[in-house]
Structure 1
């Protein structure tokens, strides 16, 4: 995709067989704000014969590869937003279980993600699919002022969510989460699944490695929250940081990924044990 000085979106197709680009065969007039590259920074999502990009001002740009056509789609407006579309960084294009175009929006007021799907029978073109409560898959801490949706990994149906605790990857079917990194940052995420073709579906470990995660992150820690839900895995550095900020009681217990809940130990003892192991004999 590219833009011209006349504020038009133009499309061309690259062929890896011929190692060449097609001629620019289609253009679409759009508002100047749609094309600010400082804002439209999320990769597109491939659905059927089309590729979709989320644009600022709450529009979706559709490029039909077969018909060679460009069009704009208005995103749905959730009811709790009082008639105002969500912020660009609080929304994300995703795929539904049926591999159709979906739209995720962070509901900062109740700490959840609403998932919408395209619905040609609905006058608005969208229908509410389901709501995902984030307290089931993220640490139980204040998220309202910081929640952002930064990307989507199509092959594993997982969404990248950033809160003040760090960047998390949430699998939308199982709702399992994994922390990828901590701290603040201006993230731009471009997930990939590899640079070679494969006939068989990858294992979970293959998917994690393809996302650039080190295998040693699989050996991390879990805990049970006060509601009885299992959380994790998280690195010990992450847990220690949350403990230092007062998120855990003194008798808080954790266990490693290769252990069971019955083998849980006090977090302070686990921290001390790892510190001694790091110092060596």
Structure 2
């Protein structure tokens, strides 16, 4: 006869769901979709209290910051927010707003933050659209004169892991001395509230493409936001030299990367993350997408290799298709073809028509964790999300 028996549980013992600390850890691991916490809030008052707590909402956002959902995008010209998720995770269009106008220039978004250049007072704004927080940064010493001359300045904002602090890297091209053209960068830390010194690297000598463009300078193209891949930030260089400007975050140094001429003959390129997280290039060839990646051998010699070719389905397989934006964390591109805007996932190859427009713009994808932290019954956003469940 077995000696095993069931011992009565002590009245003081708690199941995991009865322990607030364990329950919060479980809720913390819910999918980072906008409807996750509002749904959890409906279970009972105790779950509602935990899921709607502002401190927990902040932990939830930090926990999922490295793999955030693609909530939508900001129009690079007008600053309005366009949601792209389906119900019940679709964010109301008016929930996020950015300062915009002729004198406000969006430079891109990353890690839930948006970087804006305010040309009216020559300063930068780092905005968190989810919380509404804004951080104002004066232009760094050494770049004031270039900003006053309306020289093109690009930049990138990023955070390390769950760090509450952020950094901004600005870059521009100095073409005043035609014999010694150079790219300049400067790094700001919100932890110290200070800019570092100017970092520079020579730019290639200007080579006219044809007789019609004999004097174009090399510029850091402001129409395409930076891409973070590996330990570096990359921008597109344009003008009489098409290439890539790299800022190494570890070495705090700049370098120019050349793109082979035969690749430039394919079409205009976009910088993307390659498979494995390194530097890659995307080319639209009319009926397909070519994804190239940069490989470095043991001797430090770098070469470009074709990674894969993605065949586009109609109506995307058109010579008139152009690329409007790239979401680096979700590996999604926005394309415009014959008046329609599509989003295409480069891994799953799934595509989705978003809307129609005759005036395409550059789009800055907004990848962030939105928690509707006011909770069910306390705010319209959370209630709307659950209503569409």
Instruction: State whether TM-score is above 0.5.
Output: yes
CA shift in 2, pair 1:24/1:156, >3 Å:
same
2:293 maps to what in 1? 117
- TM-aligned CA deviation for residue 29 of structure 1: 3.0
CA shift in 2, pair 1:123/1:64, >3 Å:
closer
2:324 maps to what in 1? 150
For the 8 Å contact 1:76–1:124, the answer to whether it is kept is no
For the 8 Å contact 1:26–1:68, the answer to whether it is kept is no
- TM-aligned CA deviation for residue 123 of structure 1: 7.0
Partner of residue 244 from structure 2, selected from 52, 60, 84: 60
In structure 2, how many angstroms separate the alpha carbons of the residues matched to 1:179 and 1:17?
41
For the 8 Å contact 2:288–2:317, the answer to whether it is kept is no
1:69 aligns with 2:253: yes
Instruction: For structure 2, list consecutive stretches of 5 or more residues without a partner in the other structure.
Output: 1-170, 207-215, 372-383
Partner of residue 127 from structure 1, selected from 305, 330, 337: 305
* TM-score, normalised via structure 2 length: 0.43
1:85 maps to what in 2? 265
CA shift in 2, pair 1:77/1:180, >3 Å:
farther
In structure 2, how many angstroms separate the alpha carbons of the residues matched to 1:155 and 1:60?
20
For the 8 Å contact 2:342–2:352, the answer to whether it is kept is yes
* TM-score, normalised via structure 1 length: 0.58
1:96 maps to what in 2? 274
CA shift in 2, pair 1:46/1:187, >3 Å:
same
- TM-aligned CA deviation for residue 149 of structure 1: 1.9
- TM-aligned CA deviation for residue 12 of structure 1: 0.9
Query: Which structure has the higher relative contact order (CA within 8 Å, separation 6+)?
Result: 2
In structure 2, how many angstroms separate the alpha carbons of the residues matched to 1:92 and 1:67?
25
Instruction: For structure 1, list consecutive stretches of 5 or more residues without a partner in the other structure.
Output: 198-213, 220-257, 259-281
CA shift in 2, pair 1:157/1:163, >3 Å:
same
- TM-aligned CA deviation for residue 195 of structure 1: 7.7
Kindly name which structure, 1 or 2, has the bigger radius of gyration based on alpha carbons.
2
For the 8 Å contact 2:334–2:341, the answer to whether it is kept is yes
Question: How many residues of Structure 1 are paired with residues of Structure 2 in the alignment?
Answer: 187
Partner of residue 346 from structure 2, selected from 141, 162, 172: 172
- TM-aligned CA deviation for residue 186 of structure 1: 4.5
* 1:1-281 correspondence to structure 2 within 5 Å: 1-4=171-174, 5-6=176-177, 7-30=181-204, 31=206, 33-35=217-219, 39-56=221-238, 57-77=241-261, 85-88=265-268, 91-108=269-286, 111-121=287-297, 125-135=303-313, 139-140=314-315, 143-144=318-319, 146-194=320-368
**3-state SS, counterpart of residue 185 of structure 1:** coil
Query: Residue by residue, what CA displacement relative to the aligned partner does 1:201-223 show, whole Å, maximum 9, x if unpaired?
Result: xxxxxxxxxxxxx98xxx9xxxx
